Amino acid sequence: MKLVDSFGRHIYYLRISVTDRCNLRCIYCMPAEGVPWIPHSEVLSYEEMARIVGIVAELGFSKVRLTGGEPLVRADLPGFVKMLLQIQGIEEISLTTNGTLLKKYALELKQVGLERVNISLDTLRAERYRDITRQGNLSDVLDGIKAAQDVGLSTKINMVVMRGINDDEAVDFARRTYQGWHVRFIELMPFTRAAEYVPAEELRQRIGSLGSLEACSLDGNGPAEYYRLPGATGTIGFIASVSKPVCLFCNRMRLTSDGQIRSCLLSDEGIDLRGPLRSGASAQEVKRLILQAVAFKPEGHPALESNSLKSNMSRIGG
């Protein structure tokens, strides 16, 4: 089955926020004091999430990405990965993480069938890392990256670029592709007010000082455009989420940890699945709600400058 939304986009990719909790307090994600956590009783169990994945698989979804908060702070995430891979129709499970706990879990995740991991890293400087995350240690992430690579996980490094905060490191990150890193530069969503975003085209010109960027391809489900520097084994990706109309190619839906199915990262609108699930709704009833959410998927996201998003980024799984 091929699920197509109102604008002809093929929808087959579900991002699941397994928890709103996080062990960092990144400046563009939440305030220094943190945010009120969703009560445990309101968070979907792994079994409830797996039931939803089974239903979307029947609708043609084939790829799942696990996000947070920080997904590895939730107990037995590898067991959940194993559970999802037993669902017919699910071809790939991937993970987005801040990497601080990855050294501990990389081997187990690989053994249960995880294929890909995206690691958020916004600086290569220890003191600056502490400033951006407010409480993290850079060495933990670097150890996590190495552990993921050592066990054979396909690894990408995501850098959110902020003018005046870390944009001076773009070339340093690009140089890491000579060591095999796959680096992706992500434009900062302006509603966070953490800093000014840096357009992908500007970054491309800066990195061009290292050599001519040659277009290439890399497996994945996102809107990144990939390039390679001469002699580099890794790649450079640009995700122009602000400066280019990436919504035209959006293939995803989102499930929050408290059971809201949403069609857009930048929307507070969602349809509750937790209530019906816990009230004994049939698979057909849940499927109808999911199809309703897909039908409501907008052509584009709301104006980024509106600052109207009420949900915390840590709850949505950016």
User: Tens digits of per-residue pLDDT, 145-196?
Assistant: 999 999 999 999 999 999 999 999 999 999 999 999 999 999 998 766 788 9
> Does residue 276 surpass a pLDDT of 70?
yes
188-218 burial, b at 16+ Cβ within 10 Å, e below that, comes to bbbbbebbebbbbebbbebbeebeebeeeeb
User: Can you name the CATH fold of 13-316?
Assistant: TIM Barrel (3.20.20)
Q: Model-level pTM?
A: 0.93
Give the pLDDT band (50/70/90) at residue 221.
low
Tell me: the pLDDT tens digits for 109-151? 999 999 999 999 999 999 999 999 999 999 999 999 999 999 9
Q: Are 177 and 131 in contact (CB under 8 A)?
A: no
Q: How high is the pLDDT of residue 305?
A: 47
